[in-house]
A and B are shown apart, each in its own frame.
Chain A
């Protein structure tokens, strides 16, 4: 341990001045993005709908990364994993976006009527569909929706607050008891995490089409969360090392394991996506297939194929070998690609209900992404700036530093 940490003392483990610059840049980018999106969205009812759809979509994208980061933290404690200690602080940093995302949810509350058909269904709608909405009214109504939003937020914020606080405290005290407490809470937290993520994805994304349902939808969103978060984590580690930080802490052994994770969850994503698709394809019941039909018409068919090839086949064959997983720059390229594909995945989940038959890619999407992403990133860096980039107090740090793939 002493020998291992000696290896760290020569490392630069602080964000320092780079952190300040990045916070300033991403914060300004965020504000400009949000302002631009608001200006574009103020044009009229059509623009308002576009703004809210795009905002919700990019919110869910950035949120998926933050939730994935939180899951990685929970998973490490749940499994008492040793190898990943050197990168856990970065995962915590990704999860530190959550409080900011809590704030950024507020604008969505003004757009519920635009985003969700069930809020105020037009009376001209088909009698049968109106009856269905009436049947779902006990769950899909605005007050209960708001209660659930509060429940999700409280759950995520308290879990991340607990883990981030104890981990920071351990930097100074090096108290193994803190690790014990975090491990003890992990099973409960991860169950709570699973339930809240599932229902949040039902509420915020699936209910965009209130007539369609898929019980595996939550797992689908979750699989994207993990793929996205690990890719972001790997990318962050690569960039920090390129800037001369944590040079000896993270080795090609760790990158290989991060690559394994990325590879594994890429397959998991495809498995879940196909499980959802095949049952609906086989059953061939109109009320289930309409959702997929909407994603095959117009330009959406292209996006569907892009996801099949770009979100599964390319990363699968790119990462199946040991060789690219141990080369961080190569791995980083794949991670950037996956982050882009994951963005298209969330886009494909949310936007077809706004624009069936055409892909509404526009500057609006870039503006809302810059807005939500920039502010969240600034928040995460703000948290990371005042802490070492590696959890230096963790009792398993030595194990992690000496980690080798057999």
Chain B
């Protein structure tokens, strides 16, 4: 590269520049409108008007066609609608199928609000960005600002027309003449300074340096990508540990601080947690004088039976069934799924349970029996007794003494 040294700065600083265009100033809107119509009729293409206020009819006088923006916005709205639909379809049917309120995975009514939002979002953003783009905005600087008159008054009280030199039919004298004839108070010729030249070493090294930096910029994302797919046994780096590490003893761990080498302290013998004394063996364990009690330790009334039925239907029915025969939905399903190993629950209305004392049934609910799980933690003692009472009612319903039937049904049964 045997290049000449750059020309001295002086040559750059005194720009001959090149011709940018002709700028004409007008005092009021009628003058501007008349002049704009003349420039339009003269057939110019690369020109514009500049006003401090929006003016009705100016686009007509300038011969501007209607903008394409509405069609672009319409397209964006349609794309938003289809995209919003496709997005939710993919998400809820394929990517993460999730049943909400028992609706089908593809539920158009549920998608409509999101579709609506996406339509509005895309249309509004497109309208805004499209408006800026069609207007070539934002522009921080424009060559017309080289004119002092333009820069100081175009946003307050003067109106301008600028014809650019790049217009194919531009001729400096003809353009000046046209604008002057159109009633301009002041016609200026605007030159555009040539862009300043960068020093030679910058021009020489800029491209290679940029290329190296660009490649270097790829390294961190590559490292991140590698880390994401590489297993790692190390503890993670904690910049802000918060309360992850605390000086405390974990329960059920060894600890040499105490003589028994346990971190947990045993209860003082004989203590009972508040509300857990459960002194009455009949009510809390169903035991009277060392035997299962055969009398309910609660008053049996309609409210108790209703409560018992409700608890039974919640906790017992899934296995033992509505009628206590042992054909609850969970039991039936279990039988269907694994017929070889499944044990059907005991019939609560059959002779075995019928003969059992109340206390025994109470104990079974509390602690479970064979494959039945304990329910003592889920059902409170009073409710367990209510269930026992309801079970007795179920048993009665399966073998009613004739005398207890209403007269009509008694006759029916006799026949």
Residues of A within 8 A of B (CB): 274, 277-278, 281-282, 284, 320-322, 404, 406
In the complex formed, the residue of B with least CB distance to A405 is B56
B247 at the interface (CB under 8 A from A): no
Check B101–A284 contact: CB distance below 8 A.
yes
* A321-B70, A404-B56 known; A284 vs B109 contact (CB < 8 Å): no
Bound complex: CA of A320 vs CA of B103, how far in Å?
33
B54 touches A406 (CB 8 A): yes
Q: Is the CB of A278 within 8 A of B112?
A: yes
- Check if B86 is an interface residue, CB within 8 A of chain A: no
The answer to whether A278 and B109 touch across the interface, beta carbons within 8 angstroms, is yes
Cross-chain contact B109 with A322 (CB below 8 angstroms)? no
Q: Is the CB of A282 within 8 A of B109?
A: yes
Chain B residues within CB distance 8 Å of chain A:
54, 56-57, 70, 74, 101-103, 109-110, 112-113
Q: How far is the CA of A322 from the CA of B56 in the complex (A)?
A: 18
Q: A321-B70, A322-B70, A406-B56 are in contact. Are A274 and B112 (CB under 8 A)?
A: yes
B109 & A320 in contact (Cβ 8 Å cutoff): no
B230 → chain A closest CB, angstroms: 45
Smallest beta-carbon distance B108→chain A, Å: 10
Docked CA distance A282–B113 (Å): 13
Question: Nearest Cβ distance between residue B241 and chain A, in whole angstroms?
Answer: 44
| Shortest Cβ gap from B224 to chain A (Å) | 41
Q: How far is the CA of A262 from the CA of B379 in the complex (A)?
A: 63
Complex CA–CA separation, A406 to B110 (angstroms): 38
Q: Give the residues in chain A near B57, CB-CB below 8 Å.
A: 404
From residue A214, how far is it (CB to closest CB) to chain B in Å? 16
Distance between Cα atoms of A322 and B68 in the complex (Å): 12
Cβ–Cβ < 8 Å partners of A281 in chain B:
109
List chain B residues, Cβ under 8 A from A322.
70
- A322 to B74, alpha carbons, bound, how many Å? 12
What chain B residues lie within 8 Å of A277 (beta carbons)? Answer: 109
CB closest residue in chain A, given B100: A282
Task: Tell me the complex Cα distance, A278–B110, Å.
Answer: 7
Question: How many Å from the CB of B71 to the closest CB on chain A?
Answer: 9
In the bound complex, CA of A375 to CA of B57 (Å): 46
Tell me whether B74 and A282 are in contact (CB under 8 A): no
List A contacts of B112 (CB < 8 A). 274, 278
**Bound Cα distance from A320 to B74, whole angstroms:** 9
How far, in Å, is A249 (CB) from chain B's closest CB?
A: 19
Instruction: Determine how close the nearest CB of chain A comes to the CB of B396; give it in whole angstroms.
Output: 29
Residue of B nearest to A271 (CB): B116
Question: Which 7 A-B pairs rank lowest in CB-CB distance, beginning with the nearest?
Answer: A281-B109, A278-B109, A404-B56, A282-B101, A274-B112, A284-B101, A278-B112
- In the bound complex, what is the Cα–Cα distance between A404 and B101 (angstroms)? 51
Give the complex CA separation of A204 and B110 in angstroms.
31
Closest to B59 in A: A406
Q: Which residue on B lies nearest to A317, using beta carbons?
A: B74
Q: Which residue of B lies closest to A274 (CB)?
A: B112
Q: Which residues of chain B are near A282, meaning CB under 8 Å?
A: 101, 103, 109-110
| 18 further interface pairs, Cβ-Cβ under 8 Å (given A278-B110, A282-B101, A406-B56) | A274-B109, A274-B112, A277-B109, A278-B109, A278-B112, A278-B113, A281-B109, A282-B103, A282-B109, A282-B110, A284-B101, A284-B102, A320-B74, A321-B70, A322-B70, A404-B56, A404-B57, A406-B54
In Å, the complex CA distance between A284 and B74 comes to 35
B179 to chain A, nearest CB (A): 27
Q: In the complex the two chains form, what is the Cα distance from A274 to B108 in whole Å? A: 12
Residues of A within 8 A of B74 (CB): 320
Which partner residue on chain A sits nearest B110 by CB separation?
A: A282
Contacts of B113 in A (CB 8 A): 278
Would you mind naming 14 contact pairs between A and B with Cβ atoms under 8 Å apart? A277-B109, A278-B110, A278-B113, A281-B109, A282-B101, A282-B103, A282-B109, A282-B110, A284-B102, A322-B70, A404-B56, A404-B57, A406-B54, A406-B56
Chain B: CB-nearest residue to A277: B109
How many angstroms from the CA of A326 to the CA of B273 in the assembled complex?
Answer: 84
Which chain B residues lie closer than 8 Å to A320 at the CB level? 74
Query: Nearest chain A CB to B81's CB is how many angstroms away?
Result: 12
B66 to chain A, nearest CB (A): 8
**Residues on B with beta carbons closer than 8 Å to the beta carbon of A274:** 109, 112
Q: How far, in whole Å, are A282 and B74 apart by their CA atoms in the complex? A: 30
CA distance A396 to B57 in the complex (A): 21
Bound-complex Cα distance A277 to B109 (A):
9
Chain A residues with CB below 8 A from B109, complex form: 274, 277-278, 281-282
How far is A322 from B66 in the complex, measured between Cα atoms in Å? 11
Residues of A within 8 Å of B101, CB to CB, are 282, 284
Nearest residue in B to A404 (C-beta to C-beta)?
Answer: B56
B124 CB to nearest A CB, Å: 15
| CB nearest to A402 among chain B residues | B56
CA distance A322 to B110 in the complex (A): 32
Residues on B with C-beta less than 8 A from A404 are: 56-57
Q: Within the assembled complex, what's the spacing in Å between the Cα atoms of A282 and B112?
A: 12
